[in-house]
Structure 1
Amino acid sequence: MSAASASGEPSAKHTKRRPRFVGWRFVLCALAAAVILAAVVRAFFFDVFYIPSNSMQPLLEPGDRVLVSRTAYSSEDIRRGDVVVFDGRGSLAPLHSGRPALADAAVTVGRWLGLAGSDTVYVKRVIGVAGDRVSCCTDDDPRITVNGTPLDEPYVYEGDAASDHGFDVTVPEGRLWLMGDHRSESADSRSLLGAPGGGLISTERVIGEARKILWPLERSTNIDRLSLGAEWNTEK
């Protein structure tokens, strides 16, 4: 049978198929637009990060998905007490993973989907900002001090000391002193004492501020901003 009738019009069979094709094309275009929009939002405004370790317990548990504001510090400075997500390459992680490019791509996709953590992106709490002298600890006071003022740290994991080893650093301009809340399990600024940079993380490496636990639903809650001595004067 001819694909067209004697009058030259398309057959009924072909006329019925066209709406189905148009429908699928619309669905694919809508999905592509949604993916592009999500990529733009996550690249410039908000992102979701998977927590792979217990270094920020009890605030964050392994498997948590955390909403991070990428614009948090576009109009204000990073503050002591903020929980920040940062790129640790060159400080807590090597500049290159050493994995094949395909494996790196798979890790990136898994992280983007919230199914896996990253071995170069970390979440820690800001303890010292530019100009601060951060030290720990003395026989008289086992607490961390910032500019001579002891910190009360209710967020630290129960049973942990403020730090298992001492340090005394002054934070230069453009750098941060970061620590995990689960001090005995956290690789943080203390881990790089004596290394180039002295464990002080560049503010340019900060991706954003952790604002909310999204998943699992039973743990969904806002991450409160703490003010650790905002009124203190820094030592220059």
Structure 2
Amino acid sequence: MSGAGRGNGGRLGNLLSGWAVGIGSLLFLGGFVYGAVLYQPYTVPTDSMAPTIGVGDRVLAQRVDGGAVHRGDVVVFSNPLWGDLPMVKRVVGTDGDRITCCDEQGRLRVNGKAIDEPYVSEGSGSAPTLFSATVPKDHLFLLGDHRDASLDSREHLDDGEQGSVPRSAVDGRVEARAWPLEGLGMLPRATSFDTLSGGSSESGPLPMLAVAVLLGALLIFGGASYGSLANRLGPARRAGKAGG
């Protein structure tokens, strides 16, 4: 009876270990595969988005349709008029917005409302370029967070679309920094435009996917470790009892 109980306990332990490894593998691989489908990595070649994103930083951008982009989002886009490479900028204006720079405190105005932008590089825009522009339908007005070092919509005000780019030019919405490790994490959600109609974008599923991958890794490690430990201790216990 006692031996059968111990045998059943061992089989139950092996079963649980197998289930842990199996479920962990599904979570781990599923999270990685789903993440690869939804997200695209990019390397930022300039400091135009500092301090939010530094030069050489590796970021993860969720593949989204340009129609899903809101003010405050950091986007990756490609526009032949701006160059041949993907660029990273922040959306400060969308369809029909009137953008002006700047008020007495150096703040951007959108539809007449002054916007406090805590993400802008300190001292950036100390001598701002005065301008005004109206964003055409299905277009976006884009600026860098490091306003003194960014070539953005302000440089293209005479291009025919008052510096704006089509929503269709958007390749993704940046959600996180993946490298370097000291900067690893989600980008803070921009709330500066929340008082305007349209609001801001909510975070995508990246945090959930990261939890799934981490939990999967823990289950795999825990299940495999338990199975290995049980296989080593089993013969030793049996040998000890036989000798006794």
Alignment partners' CA distance in 1, 2:42 and 2:127: 27
- Alignment-derived partner of residue 193 in structure 1: 157
Write out aligned runs for 1:34-113 (5 A).
45-71=38-64, 73=65, 77-89=68-80, 91-93=81-83
CA contact (8 A) 1:163 1:183 kept: no
Identity %, equivalent residues = 37
Aligned mates of 1:230, 1:69 — CA distance in 2: 21
Output the CA distance in 2 between the equivalents of 1:85 and 1:214: 15
3-state SS in 2 of match to 1:184: coil
Q: Distance in 2 between matches of 1:153 and 1:163?
A: 16
Aligned equivalent of 1:102: none
Offset at residue 174 of structure 1 (A)? 0.7
User: How far is 1:128 from its partner?
Assistant: 0.4
User: Which structure carries more helix by proportion?
Assistant: 2
Q: Is the Cα contact below 8 Å between 1:59 and 1:155 reproduced in 2?
A: yes
Query: Residue by residue, what CA displacement relative to the aligned partner does 1:51-109 show, whole Å, maximum 9, x if unpaired?
Result: 110000001111111011003x48x73111111110122x311xxxxxxxxxxxxxxxx
**Hey, what's the Cα distance between the residues in 1 that align with 2:182 and 2:98?**
39
What is the rounded CA distance, in whole Å, between the counterparts of 2:118 and 2:100 in structure 1?
A: 18
Deviation at 1:219, TM superposition (A): 1.4
1:125-149 deviation digits (Å, cap 9, x = unpaired): 01001121110124x3421100111
Q: Which has the larger Rg?
A: 2
How many Å separate the matches in 2 of 1:224 and 1:163? Answer: 26
State whether structure 2 residue 214 is matched by structure 1 residue 223: no
The correspondence for 2:99, drawn from 131, 134, 139, is 134
How many residues were matched structurally?
A: 168
Alpha-carbon distance in structure 1 between the residues aligned to 2:197 and 2:73: 18
Q: 1:156 to 1:175 in 2, by over 3 A?
A: same
* Conserved? CA contact 1:211–1:223, under 8 Å: yes
TM-score, normalized by length of structure 1?
0.65
- Deviant stretches of 4+, over 6 Å: none
* Kept after mapping to 2: 8 A contact 1:134/1:168: yes
Q: Equivalent residue for 1:172?
A: 136
For residues 68 and 140 of structure 2, what CA distance do their matches in structure 1 show?
12
SS at match of 2:118: coil
Q: Hey, what's the Cα distance between the residues in 1 that align with 2:62 and 2:141?
A: 20
Structure 1 equivalent of residue 201 of structure 2:
none
**Cα separation, partners in 2 of 1:82 and 1:210, compared to 1, 3 Å:** same
**Aligned in 2, Cα 1:174/1:147: closer, same or farther, shift over 3 Å?**
same
Point out where structure 2 has 5 or more consecutive residues left out of the alignment.
1-31, 199-244
The one of 151, 175, 180 aligned to 1:211: 175
Long gaps (5+) in structure 1: 1-36, 94-118
CA distance in 2, matches of 1:141, 1:41: 42
Q: CA deviation at 1:233?
A: 4.6
Shift of residue 232, structure 1, vs aligned partner: 2.1
Instruction: Compute the displacement of 1:196 (Å).
Output: 2.5
Task: Name the CA distance, whole Å, in 2 between partners of 1:212 and 1:163.
Answer: 30
| Distance change in 2, residues 1:174/1:163 (3 Å) | farther
